[in-house]
């Protein structure tokens, strides 16, 4: 574990895109403090003497919207859901970017403990 945490505020949301920018899942992050772990490029814990590649934190969420577009040949169809069901999101950035006071999402910051 590291000496850094991510503090999530009351009104924090994140949009996770996949495949194309038009396909996304919108999450409402659960307020709280979550530990940040330093891992290697394969997301395995960093051993002593190794340099970390990523900083990650798993944050519980509520999935508030799912939107995706199907494009087959010349036909396009869109689908939108508002499931309001539990989920998680993986906060990830390069290890060298972690510092106290950095904004992680619209209402989340990195803190040193």
Domain ranges of the chain: 4-112
pLDDT for the residue numbered 93: 95
pTM to 2 decimal places: 0.86
State how far the Cα of 14 lies from the Cα of 86, in Å rounded to an integer.
14
Comparing CA positions, the residue from 48, 39, 47 lying closest to residue 90 is 39
Question: Do residues 57 and 95 lie in contact, with contact meaning Cβ atoms separated by under 8 Å?
Answer: no
pLDDT for the residue numbered 72: 77
- Residues of the chain predicted below pLDDT 50: none
Sign for the CA dihedral angle at 41, 63, 65, 111 comes to negative
The tens digit of pLDDT for each residue in 11-25 reads: 999 999 887 768 999
pLDDT for the residue numbered 73: 77
pLDDT for the residue numbered 19: 74
Q: How far is CA 61 from CA 2, 64, 98, in A?
A: 22, 9, 22
């Amino acid at each position: 574990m590291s000496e850094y945490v991510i503090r999530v505020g009351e009104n924090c949301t994140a949009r996770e895109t996949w495949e194309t920018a038009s396909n996304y899942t919108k999450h409402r992050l659960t307020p709280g403090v979550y530990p940040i772990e330093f891992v290697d490029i394969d997301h395995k814990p960093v051993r002593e003497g190794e340099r970390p590649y990523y900083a990650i934190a798993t944050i519980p969420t509520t999935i508030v919207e799912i939107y995706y577009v199907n494009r087959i040949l010349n036909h396009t169809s869109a689908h939108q859901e508002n499931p309001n069901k539990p989920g998680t999101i993986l906060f990830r950035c390069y290890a060298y970017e972690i510092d106290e006071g950095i904004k992680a999402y619209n209402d989340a910051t990195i803190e040193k403990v």
